Chain A
């Protein structure tokens, strides 16, 4: 799409673009270029000397069982967060769509969108407190049911904790998109199906769900990106990648290796790999948007 009517000036557009370009170059292209550059370098322990090592950092990474395990952790984590988050919010949105009117509906909606305002790190702290091994109130209830809960030493429980906290925070977002999607479905379609004798369940599977599928697919990509990157705060505030790297997703490992262990080359190589993953996800998202235009 292009504007038919435009203004003419030899210098003004460049002046208007200058602030954004200056910030983009300084804080995006310069660091990204350096990440690529460092990923081919090996630095000594004091950072005084570095040499060009080609793809060594990358081959080292793919031979490192910890790095490969981190891929698997990330896959489990993001599939769980995206799957649970989408399923739960779809259920809530379908139910909320039935009671859109009245103050009760407003109350439900207000409670359900609150977690969007909570920072990921704060969400992590809240759930870590509920599930704290010695004082947590949920731990107490679990003990009453005979569950031995201690995420500080049990890897699968630590994973469960960060999944619960991450899903809780993301439900609001998914819920609002599903609700907007549901409310844009023409009522006449639903009524026509009801007149033809289709019950609520049948209408959901044959009309509502197919019409919601673009929203659901969009949310799938967004939720995976969320699980990959934005859950950093949840993990750093709770498990910090532990116990024994059970919750060390890829982004956390970039941070851990680069900031805590000062392995610049290895961390930068991981950054470059992550960049490729983000590019792939963005391409998928945009191909989907192309498709949505035809709807």
Chain B
């Protein structure tokens, strides 16, 4: 701190406390609602202290699902979400590290053309090509499959860029030394490039795990079978109509379950998370 300003310090903490309370308020209400009985949630106003139905609500959604909306068990949805949230970062990292290695460490005809091909996919988010992508998936028979859920999200220009940028910072002397020692390109890749890329991979993993877990539009289109729902889709399917008709205590318990894994990843791997976030956007 540059100087002592008691009033400014007071304002600083006041602003931060108000900000933190407003940000945390919906999360707190969600938790409270997930521990109440249906009558308590529906009462006006809803109690703001946790109730006694925590175990009841969570075991209901985990193993049986809601009674009015989708009747799929949330445990199955959590498994689907986990598969998706792991397959997307693993697939992305694998194909991107290979392609950026090729682009950085080789000279070959059409190199720039391929680079631009990957680059322009930045301009085509899923949202703008909904119908044709859905048709392609239907033609390939990938509706309601894990491959259909994950493959289209795996191709990513950002990950390729991130690795390319990182490879450019690897000293040329390392490649030179490897070549003099008679190591081929793949040997160099496994023994030098991959170990050096570990921090980049960790950062990418955190960001892509959250991206995969929180996908909404794509699973909404591709899954019609309840057994393939991810948990984010499951919440939406539990909302059946006007707000008095919903089992809000169960919906909120599912929302807590949907939030916890990505929140745990963000909070436990905060260092990698911030690094990944700031670097993928450069």
Interface of A with B (CB < 8 Å)?
1, 3-10, 12-14, 16-17, 19-21, 23-24, 26-35, 38, 88, 91-92, 95-96, 98-99, 107-108, 110-123, 125-130, 132-137, 140, 152, 168, 171, 173, 176-177, 180, 190-191, 194, 200, 218, 222, 229, 232-233, 236-237, 251, 254-255, 258-259, 264, 267-268, 271, 274-275, 278-279, 282, 289
**CA A218 – CA B281 in complex, angstroms?**
9
| B19 and A92 contacting across the interface, CB-CB below 8 Å | yes
Decide if B118 is an interface residue (CB 8 Å cutoff).
Answer: yes
Q: Is B253 an interface residue (CB 8 A)?
A: no
- Given known pairs A122-B232, A126-B30, the reply for A135 and B131 (CB within 8 Å) is no
Task: Report A68 CB to chain B, min CB distance, Å.
Answer: 19
A-B contact pairs, 23 of them (CB 8 A): A1-B168, A13-B111, A16-B102, A20-B160, A21-B99, A21-B117, A24-B155, A34-B135, A35-B128, A35-B129, A114-B267, A120-B216, A121-B216, A129-B243, A133-B243, A191-B2, A232-B127, A233-B217, A254-B128, A254-B130, A258-B130, A264-B131, A278-B124
Name the residue of chain A whose CB is nearest to the CB of B160: A20
Q: What 18 additional pairs, Cβ within 8 angstroms, besides A4-B172, A130-B25?
A: A5-B179, A13-B106, A17-B99, A23-B154, A88-B19, A112-B23, A113-B266, A118-B262, A119-B213, A135-B243, A135-B248, A137-B45, A140-B46, A152-B243, A180-B278, A194-B2, A258-B131, A278-B125
Q: Which residues of B contact A140 (CB under 8 A)?
A: 44-46
Task: Tell me whether B259 is interfacial, beta carbon within 8 Å.
Answer: yes
Min C-beta distance of A174 to chain B, whole Å: 11
- Interface pair A108/B277, CB less than 8 Å apart: no
Q: Are B136 and A232 in contact (CB under 8 A)?
A: no
Chain A binding surface SS class: helix
State the CA gap A7–B20 with chains docked (Å): 53
Find residues 120-141 in chain B having any chain A CB closer than 8 Å to their own CB. 121-125, 127-136, 140
Contacts of B55 in A (CB 8 A): none
Q: Name the one of A19, A92, A118 contacting B16, with C-beta atoms under 8 angstroms.
A: A92
Residues of B within 8 A of A4 (CB): 172
**Interface positions of B from 19 to 37, Cβ below 8 Å from A:** 19-20, 23-27, 29-30, 33
Q: Would B15 and A122 count as touching, CB distance under 8 A?
A: no
Q: Are A137 and B48 touching (Cβ within 8 A)?
A: yes
**B188, CB-defined interface residue at 8 Å:** yes
Contact B99 A19 (CB under 8 A): yes
A135/B98 contact (C-beta < 8 A), A34-B132, A99-B13, A258-B130 known: no
A21 touches B175 (CB 8 A): no
The residue on A at minimum CB distance from B13 is: A99
**Chain A residue at minimum C-beta to C-beta distance from B173:** A5
Please determine whether B26 and A12 come into contact, CB atoms closer than 8 angstroms. Answer: no
B262 surroundings in chain A (CB, below 8 A) = 117-119
Tell me, in angstroms, the Cα distance from A136 to B108 when the chains sit together.
Answer: 62
B83 is an interface residue with CB less than 8 A from chain A: no
The reply to whether A259 and B130 form a contact with Cβ atoms under 8 Å apart is yes
- Report whether B106 and A116 are in contact in the complex, using a CB–CB cutoff of 8 Å: no
How would you classify the secondary structure of chain B's contact residues: helix, strand, loop or mixed? helix
Q: How far is the CB of A140 from chain B (nearest CB, A)?
A: 4
Residue of B29, B121, B129, B239 near A24 (CB, 8 A) is: B121
Chain A hits for B94, CB < 8 A:
19
A110 neighbours in B (Cβ, 8 Å): 267, 270
B87 interface residue, CB < 8 Å from A?
A: no
With A and B bound together, what is the CA distance between A251 and B216 in angstroms? 14
* Given known contacts A5-B179, A13-B111, A200-B8, A114 and B263 CB-to-CB distance under 8 angstroms: yes
Are B188 and A7 in touch, CB under 8 angstroms? yes
- Report A-chain residues with C-beta under 8 Å of the C-beta of B45: 137, 140
B105 touches A7 (CB 8 A): yes
Chain A contacts for B152, CB-based, 8 A: 23, 27
Judging by beta carbons under 8 Å apart, are B236 and A130 in contact?
A: no
Name the A residues within 8 Å of B239 (CB-CB).
125, 237
Contact check, B95 vs A23: say whether CB atoms are below 8 A apart: yes
* Cα distance, A122 to B74, chains bound together (Å): 15
**Residues on the B chain within 8 Å of A258, using CB:** 130-131
Enumerate chain B residues within 8 angstroms of A95, measured Cβ to Cβ. Answer: 11-12, 15-16, 19
Within the complex, the shortest CB–CB distance from B77 to chain A, in Å, comes to 13
Chain B residue contacts of A114, Cβ below 8 A:
23-24, 27, 263, 266-267
Max chain B C-beta neighbours (<10 A), residue from A122, A133, A180, A218: A122
Chain B, residue nearest A101 (CB): B1
B79 at interface by CB-CB < 8 Å: no
Contact B131 A268 (CB under 8 A): yes
B36 to chain A, nearest CB (A): 12
Report the bound CA distance from A169 to B181 in whole Å: 52
Residues of B within 8 A of A5 (CB): 172, 175-176, 179
Could you give, for residues 151-162 of chain B, a 1 whenever the CB lies within 8 Å of some chain A CB and a 0 otherwise? 110110000100
B29 near A119 with CB under 8 A, answer no
B12 touches A255 (CB 8 A): no
Partner of A129, one of B2, B30, B95, B215: B30
* Residue-wise interface mask of B (251-272) relative to A, using a CB-CB cutoff of 8 A (1 in contact, 0 not): 1100100110011011100100
Given contacts A92-B16, A229-B127, contact A9 B23 (CB under 8 A): no
Give complex CA distance A99, B127 in Å: 40
Q: Among B29, B131, B154, which residue has its beta carbon within 8 angstroms of that of A130? A: B29
